[in-house]
């Protein structure tokens, strides 16, 4: 698949966001600067700031008032990644050492807290209670999602509803809110704000399902982290969930997936069984289902070059390799 630059319509603004990320995480503590700077330099897709800027671009050309929001959204996301790597004991992210590996758990926790606090400080400058309330509520739900995932590890009796609730809170909500707040700050009509909010939600669900598929089938170097990471940590995602219910291997899988030792030792075998069970095909079907729902929301959005980009993104999330 050729590389798709969905940020092209807002590339100028994204360069400003990128430069401000560096500035926002500066402090009087050298170690904190190094840890936060390391995370920023590792890069990333920058989905959340991108969606805020794209949603606003439909309604206004000058995005100066959206740039602080975009930076804050990326900082929020980065803070969750730092904490997530501590919880998951992850050593590699985006093809480079995690903050956890380079500086340890204590610095990682404090760095994540600091980055999150900076994000909230930026948002406070808008002096808009509604924006603050939306992001506070989203932050609480993200935390709840991580706790739900932690409590769900190695549990083969949890069904589709549990999985969807996890990925909603882990990924979909912040992408949805990014679209919502970008449109709100650009003074979009209320019905179009709601449509873009739903677009972000459905896109986020499809994006995370694809992410979970890639953990089984992607090239490790392209993915930027070891494949099978979820299985090794006992995190049962949609491909495995399908295999647990419909595969000829379901009894063996249940035995393996309830054992932390087996999940680590037999991860390659588990991946092989999941792939043989059609769990990957079913998961791609589910991701396409959410992508179609996302596309339908754009029927309510006026014709604009950015609308075409948003439509193209729904294809990208299904075709991406990392």
For the stretch 172-203, pLDDT in tens is 999 999 999 999 999 999 999 999 999 999 99
Nearest to 23, CA basis, from 82, 66, 69, 71: 71
Checking if the pLDDT of 11 tops 80, the result is: yes
- Entry pTM: 0.93
Nearest to 177, CA basis, from 118, 123, 115, 238: 123
Checking if the pLDDT of 91 tops 80, the result is: yes
Average pLDDT of the residues in 7-13: 96
For the stretch 250-302, pLDDT in tens is 999 999 999 999 999 999 999 999 999 999 999 999 999 999 999 999 999 99
CA dihedral 201, 205, 210, 214 (to 10 degrees): 110
Which of 143-147, 184-188, 235-239 bottoms out in mean pLDDT, i.e. has the lowest? 143-147
Q: How far is CA 69 from the centre of its chain?
A: 17
The model's confidence at residue 222, banded by pLDDT at 50, 70 and 90, is confident
The model's confidence at residue 249, banded by pLDDT at 50, 70 and 90, is very high
Three-state SS annotation for the chain: CCCCCCCHHHHHHHHHHHHHHHHHCCCCCHHHHHHHHHHHHCCCCCHHHHHHHHHHHCCCCCCCCCHHHHHHHHHHHHHHHHHHHHHHCCCEECCEECHHHHHCHHHHHHHHHHHHHHHHHHHHCCCCHHHHHHHHHHHHHHHHHHHHHHHHCCCCCCCHHHHHHHHHHHHHHHHHHHHHHHHHHCCCCHHHHHHHHHHHHHHHHHHHHHHHHHHHHCCHHHHCCCCCHHHHCCCCCHHHHHHHHHCCCHHHHHHHHCCHHHHHHCHHHHHHHHHHCCHHHHHHHHHHHHHHHHHHHHHHCCCCHHHHHHHHHHHHHHHCCC
Round to whole Å and give the CA distance between 94 and 86.
15
Structure tokens at 100: 């956890």
Round to whole Å and give the CA distance between 255 and 177.
39
Checking if the pLDDT of 1 tops 50, the result is: no
The share of the chain scoring above pLDDT 70, in percent, equals: 98
Checking if the pLDDT of 143 tops 60, the result is: yes
pLDDT of residue 80: 92
pLDDT of residue 3: 66
Nearest to 213, CA basis, from 150, 148, 153, 278: 278
Checking if the pLDDT of 94 tops 80, the result is: no
Round to whole Å and give the CA distance between 309 and 102.
37
Nearest to 87, CA basis, from 150, 43, 140: 150
Asked if 111 and 99 touch (Cβ cutoff 8 Å), the reply is: yes
pLDDT of residue 127: 94
Round to whole Å and give the CA distance between 157 and 138.
28
For the stretch 105-142, pLDDT in tens is 998 999 999 999 999 999 999 999 999 999 999 999 99
Round to whole Å and give the CA distance between 313 and 309.
6
Asked if 142 and 174 touch (Cβ cutoff 8 Å), the reply is: yes
Of 246 and 37, the structure prediction assigns the larger pLDDT to 246
For the stretch 32-82, pLDDT in tens is 889 888 888 888 889 999 999 999 999 999 999 999 999 999 999 999 999
Checking if the pLDDT of 2 tops 50, the result is: no
Nearest to 149, CA basis, from 126, 169, 135, 129: 169
Q: Are strands 92-93 and 96-97 parallel, antiparallel or unpaired?
A: antiparallel
First to last CA, the chain: 11
Question: In which residue are the tokens 């807290």 written?
Answer: 113
Domains of the chain: 8-319 (1.10.600.10)
């Amino acid at each position: 698949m050729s590389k798709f630059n969905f940020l092209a319509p807002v590339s100028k603004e994204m360069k400003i966001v990128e430069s401000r990320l560096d500035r926002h995480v500066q402090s009087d503590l050298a170690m904190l600067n190094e840890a936060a700077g390391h995370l920023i330099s590792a890069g990333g897709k920058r989905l959340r700031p991108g969606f805020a800027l794209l949603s606003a671009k439909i309604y206004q050309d000058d995005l100066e008032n959206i740039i602080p929001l975009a930076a804050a959204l990326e900082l929020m996301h980065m803070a969750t990644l730092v904490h997530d790597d501590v919880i998951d004991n992850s050593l590699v992210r985006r093809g480079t050492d995690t903050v956890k590996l380079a500086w340890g758990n204590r610095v990682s926790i404090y760095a994540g807290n600091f980055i999150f606090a900076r994000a909230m400080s930026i948002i406070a400058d808008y002096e808009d209670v509604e924006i603050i309330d939306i992001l506070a509520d989203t932050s609480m739900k993200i935390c709840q999602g991580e706790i739900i995932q932690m409590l769900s590890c190695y549990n083969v009796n949890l069904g589709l509803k549990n999985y969807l609730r996890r990925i909603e809170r882990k990924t979909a909500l912040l992408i949805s809110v990014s679209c919502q707040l970008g449109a709100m700050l650009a003074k979009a009509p209320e019905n179009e704000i709601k449509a873009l909010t739903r677009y972000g939600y459905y896109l986020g669900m499809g994006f995370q399902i694809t992410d979970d598929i890639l953990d089984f089938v992607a090239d490790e170097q392209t993915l930027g982290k070891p494949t099978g990471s979820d299985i090794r940590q006992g995190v049962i995602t949609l491909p495995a969930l399908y295999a647990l219910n419909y595969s000829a291997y379901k009894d063996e899988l249940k035995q393996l997936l309830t054992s932390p030792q087996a999940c680590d030792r037999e991860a390659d075998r588990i991946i092989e069984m999941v792939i043989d069970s059609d769990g990957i095909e079913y998961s791609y079907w589910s991701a396409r289902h959410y992508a179609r729902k996302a596309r339908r929301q754009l029927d309510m959005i006026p014709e604009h070059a950015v609308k075409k980009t948003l439509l193209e993104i729904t294809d990208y999330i299904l075709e991406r390799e990392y």
